Structure 1
Amino acid sequence: MKRGERLHALSEMLRRSGAQGCTADRLASEFGVSVRTIKRDLDALENSGAPIWSRPGPGGGYGLAARSSLPPVSLTPAQAVALLAAVSAAPDAPYADLASAGIRKILDVLDPRTRKKADELARRVWVNTEPVPTRAVRSAIEEAMADQYVVRIQYSSRNGDKTTRDVEPVIFASTNGRWYLIGWCQLRNEMRWFLVTRIEQASVTRMRCTGHSIQEIGIPPAAAKSVHSAGE
């Protein structure tokens, strides 16, 4: 997760914690960073004007003064649950963490009656999903795709062989309920599909992608479309 995204998610977690607040240890564990990094992030948020409070001693921690950062949102309970279901059913989807944080922001500013009905309806929608890659893996491949940097991955094949590869990310694709990173594999010198759940480690390099295009992947199935065109 890039620092800007982490700062945003951190402020949202502090706001949701209310008067109880969160300890630095809990925040560090949630975001997979050191306590020292969390404290630097808290300082950065405070310097940017965020109303952060701190309470020392046992039972202490950090919090954010309650205030809405969104105008009133008009959603029906079913619309709210539809958003929750979509993200909950696809936790391995690209940028799912950010989508989840965005939905929580929307739910937080719903009027109490709608929020109560949405909560009641949400209890009637269940999902059973496969284990997802770690936050560190997802954040690395998401950052590499967004900024077009080469990502170094440790990949486990179907038969269990492990290889380390430098990949130039081109697209994320979902088919048959599974998400893939498709990119130019510098080890094999060709376009390859990597099942996201088999990426065991990932780190963003400082090497820029060389410009491989979506067209190099081939002709997509007739039913395939980008999420941009899906909303049109």
Structure 2
Amino acid sequence: MKRAERLHAISEMLRRSGARGVSAERLAREFEVSVRTIKRDIDALENSGASIWSRPGPGGGYGLAKSAFLPPVSLSPTQAVALMVAVSVSADAPYADLARAGVRKIMDVLDPKTRKRADELAHRLWVNSPPSSSRATRSAIETAMTEQKVLRIRYTSRDGTTTTRDVEPVLFASTNCQWYLIGWCLLRDAMRWFAVSRIERATVTMTACRGHTIQEVGEPPMHARPVHGRND
């Protein structure tokens, strides 16, 4: 299991544990990693905004604060199908696997009548998405961005030249139906755009990024905007 997937699974286990919480030792056994790794994962979840509480001592552990739980979800069948379409046509987007898992959770909590109507409508939509890059490569890229660690990539440029580079990830961008990793390239000592589809291999290093900012990337493509759930 890749780290991004494990982080999601840990947050789900913490959510299910409720007020009881779950110990680091139990999490370590569940995911077959060390307690030290679990504690690093908990730190990563907290840094990403998860509201995690901890209780020290015998019988202690970790849990998710009540404020971290989603309230009851109420969607129309067409809204539910719109979410399915969005993740289906964006299979190569960053964190697409987690998006699909999120949609499945939303579908699970819909009332049976709405879910049935949504399923019926979903069968009337076909999507033909091209194959995406390998799951291992995408997972490494996503983890490096989330944790702000230097990423080592094997990259083939448009002219066919293949190089190995260390990159400090700054942001993901989608333009002209292509996803790019934009980051500070230590080989070129400059900001560079890397087409994700041309990243053949990626490994997360233990080196922390130095804090290059989005402003250093320059002007965004026309009509580009940050991803968020608001209309403003």
TM-score normalised by length of structure 2: 0.71
CA distance, structure 1, for counterparts of residue 158 and residue 30 of structure 2: 38
Identity across the alignment (%): 59
Change (3 A) 1:10 1:139: farther
Matched, 1:223 2:226: no
The alpha carbon displacement at 1:133 in A equals: 1.3
**Contact 1:166 1:186 (8 Å CA) reproduced:** yes
Could you tell me which runs of 5 or more consecutive residues in structure 1 were left unpaired when the two chains were aligned: 12-36, 50-68
CA distance, structure 1, for counterparts of residue 223 and residue 144 of structure 2: 27
Matched, 1:40 2:32: yes
Q: Secondary structure at the match of 1:228?
A: coil
What does residue 98 of structure 1 align with? 98
CA distance, structure 2, for counterparts of residue 10 and residue 125 of structure 1: 33
**Contact 2:175 2:221 (8 Å CA) reproduced:** no
CA distance, structure 2, for counterparts of residue 132 and residue 138 of structure 1: 9
**Contact 1:154 1:163 (8 Å CA) reproduced:** yes
**Contact 1:77 1:114 (8 Å CA) reproduced:** yes
Change (3 A) 1:178 1:10: farther
Matched, 1:172 2:172: yes
The alpha carbon displacement at 1:184 in A equals: 0.7
CA distance, structure 2, for counterparts of residue 231 and residue 204 of structure 1: 34
CA distance, structure 2, for counterparts of residue 106 and residue 154 of structure 1: 37
CA RMSD of aligned residues (A): 2.9
The alpha carbon displacement at 1:132 in A equals: 0.8
What does residue 8 of structure 2 align with? 5
Note the 1:7-156 alignment, pairs <5 A. 7=10, 40=32, 72-156=72-156
Q: Secondary structure at the match of 2:151?
A: strand
CA distance, structure 2, for counterparts of residue 154 and residue 222 of structure 1: 29
Q: Deviations over 1:64-119 (max 9, x none)?
A: xxxxx866421111000000000111111111111111110010111111111101
CA distance, structure 1, for counterparts of residue 75 and residue 229 of structure 2: 23
CA distance, structure 1, for counterparts of residue 187 and residue 224 of structure 2: 28
